[in-house]
């Protein structure tokens, strides 16, 4: 056990959004074949759950790695308010030019959050799309 323990703290946030899994470079038939009902042209949507994990040492003055109300505010400002009750294909600037799968969403969010979560280091994002599937990204 180290002198300055490294702790990972996680804040969970929720948001709701619409999307369509669609590759505009492919034909409609190919999109339908690849993505099935997820390709519905009239969209569908999800209640997403996002877990943001920050690692660092404990500040002896506060007992915190990072104040979770500060972390919540960063995540709200940087990603949640830009995607909540929005359409990932049409409304979200950091998703321009990529298919809005959970894989691509989590990478886009990493780019927005990694520079901003001081003190501490962003070490993991987990994005649940439904209660049966989720993606994780650790910056590698």
Q: Enumerate the active-site residues.
A: 38, 85, 129
Candidate residues 24, 28, 29, 37; the one interacting with a copy of itself per rule CB under 8 A: 37
Cβ burial 77-101 (10 Å sphere, 16+ → b, else e): ebbbebbeebbbbeebebbeeebbb
| DSSP string covering 53-95 | EEEEEPBTTTTBSS-HHHHHHHHIIIIIHHHTTEETTTT-GGG
Minimum CB separation of residue 71 from a copy of itself in Å reads 9
Tokens, residue 90: 């049409």
Q: Are 95 and 88 within 8 A, CB to CB?
A: yes
Minimum CB separation of residue 20 from a copy of itself in Å reads 9
Minimum CB separation of residue 77 from a copy of itself in Å reads 16
Task: Select 96 or 132, whichever has its Cβ closest to a copy of itself.
Answer: 132
Q: Ramachandran region of residue 72, left (φ > 0), alpha (ψ -120 to 50) or beta?
A: alpha
The CA distance from 48 to 37, in Å, is 18
Task: Select 102 or 117, whichever has its Cβ closest to a copy of itself.
Answer: 102
Q: Is position 58 an interface residue for a copy of itself (rule: CB under 8 A)? A: yes
Q: Which of residues 77-116 bind a copy of itself (CB under 8 A)?
A: 84-87, 90-91, 98-104, 106-107, 110-111, 114
- The residue ranges that bind a copy of itself (CB under 8 A) are 1-2, 5-14, 16-19, 21, 23, 26, 34-38, 40, 42-47, 53, 58, 61-65, 67-69, 84-87, 90-91, 98-104, 106-107, 110-111, 114, 130-140
């Amino acid at each position: 056990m180290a002198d300055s323990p490294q702790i990972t703290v996680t804040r969970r946030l929720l948001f709701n959004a619409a999307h369509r899994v669609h590759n505009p470079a492919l034909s409609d038939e190919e999109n339908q074949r690849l993505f099935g009902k997820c390709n519905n042209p009239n969209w569908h949507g999800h209640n997403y759950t996002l877990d943001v994990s920050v690692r660092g040492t404990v500040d002896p003055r506060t007992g915190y790695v990072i104040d979770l109300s500060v972390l919540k505010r960063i995540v709200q400002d940087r990603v949640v308010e830009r995607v909540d009750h929005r359409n990932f294909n049409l409304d979200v600037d950091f998703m321009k030019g990529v298919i809005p799968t959970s894989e691509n969403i989590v990478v886009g969010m990493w780019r927005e959050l990694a520079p901003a979560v001081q003190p501490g280091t962003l070490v993991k994002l987990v994005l649940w799309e439904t209660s049966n599937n989720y993606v994780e990204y650790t910056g590698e």
